[in-house]
Amino acid sequence: MTRAVSAPAFSIDPVDGLIDEPRRIVVTGLVPDELVAISAHTQRAGGAVWMSQATFMADAQGVVDLSRDAPVGGDYAEVSAMGLIWSQHPLDGASPELFPDDVMEPLQTTLTAEAAHGASARARFYQRFAAPGVERREVRADGPVGTLFTPDGPGPHPVVVVLNGSGGGINEPRAALYASHGYQALALGYFKAPGLSPFITETPLEYLETGLSWVHRELRPKDGFVAVGGQSRGGELALLLGATFPDLVSAVIAFVPGAMVHGAQGAGDPARDGWQGATWTRGGVPLPHLWQDNKAVHWHPWAGDAPPSRHHSVFFEGLKDTELAARARIPVENIAGPVLLISGRDDRAWPSSLYSRMVVSTLRRHGHPHLVRHLDFDNAGHAINLPFVPTTQLSREHPVSKVPYTSGGTPSDNAAADYGSWRGVLAFLAEIAGSASRG
């Protein structure tokens, strides 16, 4: 008598939810001890398709549970409920785009299971940036250029201002996700955005001050609470804004930040001193920066050559000009609120772990009276992102200069930092926003 072979089937929980929600993905109906190949296809911005594949061995009940079982081969090698997402690679081999052009639409991932006995199954799940009821509005007047996301339900809400890094533009995905967790979020552009310069060179801090004043005046945040969060150059800027305009900034969230003011680097205007041009100005005067006639090292980006594996070594050399480093230092002791720093110990773009420790040390020496927290992730690189997105693009081309660079970390450790940092940000905000007051 021939034994009937059942067909595999997926169980996904939740099928539709926010991008920061882990999914439980289970395949049933397999033959005990059978091998099954599971692939994930996700359509992303510009039509790019990202894909991963891993092979699993079913248990004695014919079940594979990705939250319990490690693959026996494929694109990742440990137990990870969302390993099929963070281990994805672009099919074209080089697409840098992780997020859709319209963050109000979810990412859609198709899972396919192909069992050794020939049967197959297919299922889809959806990752959203914006929860039901979140509203999106472009802001183009009265100073700031950005996109405002407002959570469902009556206000007022605490506010988070979101700053992008040296790629410029407007970071809508992160702002939409903040709104999905109850914060009104302004993704604020400061270059490479409509009506603004295409380069970071000589960005006036007065523009950011105008944006922060607009937030306080127009959004009327709950208890006057306005946190500023940014990544990389945006992390440098978040610290600088907190130190320069303490009456407008209630808290600082700095992802892989610099503790110094740096030159324009890869986002610089080639017609205005390029990589060594000034980044920020106040009152029309450029702020001193680490590449400004540095006596210890010159900033020499590679051109046409393969990028060094540890690009950040030039920053260590630059700090040897101690007089210049002191002038370029961000006076973080002037920040009048809590500070959260997030870094990767294998950051190869610049030494964000060292810079974060320098900020913590400075605040401690000055008796900073507010919460200071540093999340420093083992073997994570510079590209600490939202949870459950691909982390495999360790080397990439800078979106402004088009110069290749290496961000560092491993896909697995970067994925852990993505998830851990975001949970840390939400915990930090929950801890401080309720008691924040501007009296």
- CB of 414 closer than 8 Å to CB of 383: yes
Residue type, 105: E
Residue 423 is inside which H or E element, if any? helix 411-433
- CB of 175 closer than 8 Å to CB of 274: no
d(CA 208, CA 145): 10
**pLDDT at res. 435:** 42
From the candidates 39, 95, 232, 353, give the one annotated as an active-site residue: 232
The DSSP line for 262-315 is ---GGG--TTTTGGGS--EEETTEEPP-TTSS-SS------SSSPPPTTTTHHH
d(CA 85, CA 388): 6
Residue type, 331: P
Tokens of 251: 């808290």
Residues of the chain with pLDDT under 70: 1-5, 45-46, 93-97, 301-310, 434-439
- CB of 235 closer than 8 Å to CB of 330: no
From the candidates 157, 262, 312, 382, give the one annotated as an active-site residue: 382
> Residues 280, 284, 286, 287: what is their CA dihedral angle, to the nearest 10 degrees?
-70
**pLDDT at res. 266:** 85
- 240: Cβ–Cβ under 8 A, 6 or more apart, which residues? 205, 261, 280, 330
d(CA 53, CA 56): 10
Tokens of 321: 């000009």
Match 């986002």 to its residue by tokens.
267
**pLDDT at res. 302:** 64
d(CA 18, CA 423): 13
382 is catalytic: yes
**pLDDT at res. 436:** 37
Chain Cα centroid distance, residue 315: 22
Inter-CA distances, 225 with 172, 235, 303, Å: 20, 19, 44
368 is catalytic: no
Instruction: Give the other-Cβ count within 10 Å of 243's Cβ.
Output: 18
From the candidates 269, 346, 347, 413, give the one annotated as an active-site residue: 347
The DSSP line for 133-144 is T-EEEEE-SSS-
End-to-end alpha carbon distance in the chain: 81
**pLDDT at res. 396:** 78
**pLDDT at res. 305:** 67
Residue in 323, 320, 330, 336 with CA at minimum distance from that of residue 355: 330
Match 């009556």 to its residue by tokens.
154
Going along the chain from its start, the domains and CATH numbers come out as 9-128 (2.60.40.2240), 135-433 (3.40.50.1820)
- CB of 71 closer than 8 Å to CB of 54: yes
Q: Is the peptide bond before 144 cis (omega within 30 degrees of 0)?
A: no
Burial bucket for residue 367 (CB in 10 Å: 0-12, 13-18, 19+): exposed
232 is catalytic: yes
**pLDDT at res. 438:** 31
Residue 180 is inside which H or E element, if any? helix 172-180
Helices (H), 50-157: 83-86
